[in-house]
Structure 1
Amino acid sequence: MLLIRRIHNLAGVFFAPAILFFAFTGALQTLGLHEHRGPGPYQPPQWIKVIASVHKDQVLPKPKPEAHEHEQAPNPDADHHPAGHDDDDDSGPNPWPLKIFVLGLAIALVTNSVLGVWMAYRAPMTRRLSMILLAAGAVLPPLLLLV
């Protein structure tokens, strides 16, 4: 049982940075903050577009050519939202109960990951190995993204 607990601890510390990243970006996507939807001036900040691309497609987004002022940029959501379609209409189930659940899940994942890293840091016998694995878990994914 001690071996299983140690493996669980060390794997948790190694994957904690990725869990934090995917919980945060998943929450942003659950709220629809990663893309422009419908009429309105909202444009997501570039950093949200980048991390959403990494979350959804595991790649950095490729730069798009600048659209000329007199040309209207194509709407990437046109295929997903037919004309006259409103996400808040009453034609289907209400998405908010599940969205609230997913946001709670993201908060729980972040909280548990932070607590797990803190507990690993407080354990004197595995502190050094835990911090090495935490650093490796934080550095390895961005390096793999660039390969």
Structure 2
Amino acid sequence: MPPIHRFLKGCRLVHLYLGVFTAPALLFFAITGGLQTFGLHESARDGSHAPPKWLAVAAQLHKKQTMDVPVRKLRPAANAASVPAARPLAGTAARRAGNPLPLKIFTALVALALAVSTLTGLYMAWRYTRHAGRVVAVFLAGVAVPLLLALV
């Protein structure tokens, strides 16, 4: 076998096993990132919305690599007259805020596409290899290692 073929075969194997090992983390980050796009993990300052505990913990793992969710302080109710008007920062031009919803929808679609692409890659890695047991073992290691590191 010529050296270039051995090199390419090695590259394919590295790609296969690195992809399978990192697939659980990719799925986790794609799903939690997609949910964070819409702020579903945050509680409202006035206390009107509290996210599910699992979502708050998953978002905290995604952002800060810890499961300790900080308690958000409630904003005291204040009169509109007692709150000073916000002044723009010196030197900044008044900017049009725009509508963030189209970009949020696009970001959620990218997160969904990443999750689907990862799942189809896992299926192909498992289905089209002679060593399906190795693929499963590497995938399970990709699940176990981050879980163990999160508990340390």
Judge conservation of contact 2:45–2:73 (CA < 8 Å) in 1.
Answer: no
Of residues 78, 88, 97 in structure 1, which corresponds to 2:102? 97
Greater Cα radius of gyration, structure 1 or 2: 2
Count residues with an aligned counterpart: 130
Q: Is the counterpart of residue 109 in structure 1 residue 110 in structure 2?
A: no
Of residues 119, 125, 130 in structure 1, which corresponds to 2:130? 125
CA RMSD of aligned residues (A): 2.6
Q: Is the counterpart of residue 75 in structure 1 residue 74 in structure 2?
A: yes
Distance in structure 1 (CA, Å) of the matches to 2:125 and 2:27? 16
Q: CA deviation at 1:10?
A: 1.1
Of residues 127, 142, 150 in structure 2, which corresponds to 1:145? 150
Residue type of the alignment partner of 2:133: R
Q: What TM-score results when the alignment is normalised by the length of structure 1?
A: 0.77
Distance in structure 2 (CA, Å) of the matches to 1:83 and 1:48? 35
Judge conservation of contact 1:120–1:126 (CA < 8 Å) in 2.
Answer: no
Map 1:1-147; keep pairs closer than 5 Å: 1-37=8-44, 39=46, 41-61=48-68, 74-75=73-74, 91-147=96-152
Unaligned runs of 5+ residues in structure 1 are: 65-72, 77-81
**Share of identical aligned residues, percent?**
40
Q: What TM-score results when the alignment is normalised by the length of structure 2?
A: 0.75
Instruction: Specify which structure has the bigger relative contact order, considering alpha-carbon pairs within 8 angstroms and separated by 6 or more residues.
Output: 1
